Amino acid sequence: MLILVGFGNPGPKYAKNRHNVGFMVMDAFASAYAFGPWRKKFQSEIAEGDIAGVKTLLMKPQTYYNESGGAVAEAMRFYKRAPGDVVAFYDEIDLAPGRFRMKRGGGAAGNNGIRSLTAHLGDDFRRARLGMGHPGHKDLVQNYVLGDIPKADHPWVTAMIEACVRAAPLLVAGEDEKYQAEVLRLAPADKVPARRPPGDDEA
């Protein structure tokens, strides 16, 4: 079994935030591959199904973004999975808008969700990093990631999410480099409009 976990914060208040793009990807997987209904388990909302013949668990931890690791560790223990069977999807401010990178291992780079996952699992899990861009100064980061995705950004964010879903057979086959390349082919980052000045967002 492969465990796909999307980072985000629970509840309607956060649903459209940049920080919740991981949840959005999980919802898109569930819809595209006809997963079973969402239900509550492992301090999360989970859905079970398969992608390209690979049994897959989708997780949206309800512990809040920064504490996601405990929920994922529960699921890992229950299904007797290894860290390499986990793929975390999350917003990455250190990548330009629309960029997408797969990575395995490494540090948290200031991401508290990844820090939590590492504390519970070690660092040998797979990471699907969805570029949201940086607001320009560290003091702006919290409001930026907890801000709603502006309407002007909806087309490229939607395209990136859909590309993650369409390329999923490569992901479940463990072909991370090919998966990354296919996501970027389906949703080219160079088609993303130039970033407007901070504070000029229209949600």
Catalogue the active-site residues. 19
Contact 117, 125 (CB under 8 A): yes
Contact 28, 162 (CB under 8 A): yes
Cα separation of 195 and 88, whole Å?
A: 26
The per-residue b/e assignment along 49-83, b for 16 or more CB within 10 angstroms, e otherwise, is eebeeeebbbbbbbbbbebbbbbbbbbbeeeebeb
